[in-house]
Amino acid sequence: MEAYKHKVQYYETDKMGITHHSNYIRWMEEARVYFLEQIGWGYNKMEEEGIGSPVVAVDCKYKKPTTFADEVFIQVKVENCKGVKLKLLYEMTDAQGEICCIGHSEHCFVGSDGKFVRFDKEYPEFYKKLLEFA
């Protein structure tokens, strides 16, 4: 799976010239959208199917700072995939391959009625695709 590439923008840095910690969470979302598009289940498709995927938890461990114009490569992996819950792992590395940040996000799946969707049963092709990246 191709890693998502993000170039650090000037506005994403603080007064010290270091990327502000909150931006890593945004990059995780960008990488997640890219990952889902690559496996054929982008947010547009999920929404057309009536599926929502709210974030229920997120965390980051910062290992090495990034600065303006750095390229950050974000690899997304499925850490855990169950019937209504998905946990993703994000490994962010710099151009030299050094880890900058490791993050996780957890998601549930809900229908347009707000009820949980068991995507393993209701969308087995989506579920199988996710398991390929576990």
Which residue, among 23, 5, 17, has the nearest Cα to 76 in the 3D structure? 5
Q: Is 14 a catalytic residue?
A: yes
Region of 117 (left: φ > 0; alpha: ψ -120 to 50; beta: rest) is beta
Q: Measured between alpha carbons, how far is 72 from 99 in angstroms, rounded to an integer?
A: 9
- List residues bridging with 51 in a β-sheet: 111
The one catalytic residue among 14, 59, 70, 94: 14
The residues assigned a catalytic role are: 14
